[in-house]
Amino acid sequence: DAKTTQPPSMDCAEGRAANLPCNHSTISGNEYVYWYRQIHSQGPQYIIHGLKNNETNEMASLIITEDRKSSTLILPHATLRDTAVYYCIVGTYKYIFGTGTRLKVLA
Amino acid sequence: ETGVTQTPRHLVMGMTNKKSLKCEQHLGHNAMYWYKQSAKKPLELMFVYSLEERVENNSVPSRFSPECPNSSHLFLHLHTLQPEDSALYLCASSQQTGDGYTFGSGTRLTVV
- Mean per-residue pLDDT, A1-9: 89
β-pairing verdict for B107-111 and B10-13: parallel
**pLDDT > 80? residue A58:** yes
Q: What is the pLDDT of residues B26-67, one digit of tens each?
A: 899 989 999 999 987 889 999 999 888 887 777 899 999 999
Contact A100 B42 (CB under 8 A): yes
Q: Name the percent of chain B lying above pLDDT 70.
A: 96
CA-only gyration radius of chain A, Å? 13
Say whether A92 and B104 touch across the interface (CB within 8 A).
no
The reported pLDDT for the residue numbered B73 is 96
Q: Does residue B95 come out as left (phi exceeding 0), alpha (psi in the -120 to 50 range) or beta?
A: alpha
CB atoms within 10 A of CB B68: 19
pLDDT of A71 over the 90 cut: yes
A98 at the B interface (CB within 8 A)? Answer: yes
Which residues are paired to B49 by β-bridges? B32, B54
**∠ Cα A12 A96 B64 (to 5°):** 125
Residues A2, B42: C-beta atoms closer than 8 Å: yes
Is A49's pLDDT higher than 60? yes
pLDDT of residue A91: 84
Is A96 an 8 Å CB contact of chain B?
Answer: yes
If you count them, how many residues does chain B have?
A: 112
- Which residues on chain B are in Cβ contact (under 8 Å) with A46? 100-103
Return the higher-pLDDT residue of A81 and B1. A81
Q: Which residue of A has its CA nearest to B91?
A: A43
Mean pLDDT of A1-8: 88
- Flag whether pLDDT at A3 surpasses 90: no
Residue A7 or A2, more confident: A7
Residues in chain A: 107
3-class secondary-structure state, position A48: strand
Between A103 and B17, where is the model more confident? Answer: A103
